[in-house]
Amino acid sequence: MDLQLTGNAALVTASSSGLGKASAKALAREGANVVINGRNEDRLEAAKADIEDVAEGTVVAQSGDLTDEDDIESLVETTVDEFGGIDHLVMSAGGPPSGPFLETDDEDWYQAYDLLVMSVVRLAREAEPYLREDEGTIVNITSRSVKEAIDSLVLSNSVRMSVIGLEKTLSKEFAPEVRANAVLPGPHETERIKNLVEQAIDRGDYDSYEEGLDDWANNPLDRIGDPMELGNTVAFLSSPVSGYINGESILIDGGSTGANL
Ligand SMILES: NC(=O)c1ccc[n+]([C@@H]2O[C@H](COP(=O)([O-])OP(=O)(O)OC[C@H]3O[C@@H](n4cnc5c(N)ncnc54)[C@H](OP(=O)(O)O)[C@@H]3O)[C@@H](O)[C@H]2O)c1
């Protein structure tokens, strides 16, 4: 299926690793020109080279911190300067720290809000005129925690609900020109999950990486997700092929979430 993305301009945040990178890769493979982002320059350059291996379009790497308003303005400016507009805004971010409510202090709450919510607020505000002009798309990468609260993830369970409320609002306020959707990942084998498994091995929770990964693969499909499976869904949601999907939140979790809807 031709996703009709050739020559389109995409800004994908937090994309030097993991789910953001997989989304940028899928868009670039389908012919879009892509700006990728992260804070660490070395990781960003490595991701650029990896994406370029499959890219049909141009890949531009720009470092920047999503909690910094100026960096966000600059990311939007770079996308417009390099590619003449913005057709697709895909927003990922780093994950908030894990922990139960009583071990989470005010600073943790404010930092999680800044990273996960204010980054989306600022990116959407800055990109809106370009997205509207190009009849573009927004996809937020959040978590299955918005459907079902996950143990010891109070920040993810709580703060990400705001992103879904915002996405639903944008799907109305930016329509009919712009569509806005979200994907809700369950466990995918990214650097974040690899680090969490390795930390658990160091704590003595598991004997091997495989044993740790098995624990994350507790779903009907009995395996952890491949980041490209999520990236391909992001490319689909960005494509006119999915043109009647708007304001939707799509679980990508192998069926692990118990909620009926
Ligand atoms: N992987 C999963 O199974 C899973 C499941 C549910 C939800 N999620 C959520 O999906 C999101 C992405 O997770 P992931 O697994 O893809 O993580 P990852 O592999 O660790 O990648 C995170 C990316 O975000 C960038 N980043 C982090 N903080 C940033 C900041 N302040 N400004 C700019 N870039 C920043 C990182 O680069 P730098 O560190 O160099 O900045 C990196 O490129 C997170 O919010 C995570 O909680 C993931």
pTM of model > 0.85: yes
- Ligand 1: atom nearest CA of 116 is 45
Residue bearing the bigger pLDDT, 128 or 199: 128
CA–CA gap between residue 2 and residue 179 (Å, rounded): 19
pLDDT 10s digits, 25-34 = 999 999 999 9
pLDDT 10s digits, 209-233 = 999 999 889 999 999 999 999 999 9
Query: What is the pLDDT, as a whole number, of residue 223?
Result: 96
Provide φ and ψ at 63, rounded to 5°.
Answer: -75, 155
Q: How confident is the model at residue 8 (pLDDT cuts 50, 70, 90)?
A: very high
Pocket around ligand 1 at a 6 A CB cut-off: 14, 16-20, 37-40, 43, 65-67, 92-95, 115, 141, 143, 185, 187-188, 190-193
How many angstroms separate the alpha carbon of residue 94 from the centre of ligand 1?
A: 3
CA–CA gap between residue 158 and residue 79 (Å, rounded): 31
Is the pLDDT at 35 greater than 90, yes or no? yes
pLDDT 10s digits, 167-178 = 999 999 999 999
Protein residue whose Cα sits closest to atom 14 of ligand 1:
18
* Residue 99 CA neighbour count, 13 Å, CB half: 12
Say whether the peptide bond before residue 176 is cis (omega within 30 degrees of 0).
yes
Query: How are the residues of the chain apportioned to helix, strand and coil, as percentages rounded to the nearest 5?
Result: 50, 15, 35
- Cross-strand partners of 252: 185
Query: What is the pLDDT, as a whole number, of residue 199?
Result: 85
Query: What is the pLDDT, as a whole number, of residue 261?
Result: 87
How much of the chain exceeds pLDDT 90, in percent?
A: 91
Protein residue whose Cα sits closest to atom 41 of ligand 1:
39
pLDDT 10s digits, 53-96 = 999 999 999 999 999 999 999 999 999 999 999 999 999 999 99
- The domains of the chain, with CATH numbers, are 9-186+225-252 (3.40.50.720), 189-224 (no CATH)
Tokens representing residue 49 in the block: 């080279």
CA–CA gap between residue 149 and residue 155 (Å, rounded): 10
How much of the chain exceeds pLDDT 70, in percent?
A: 100
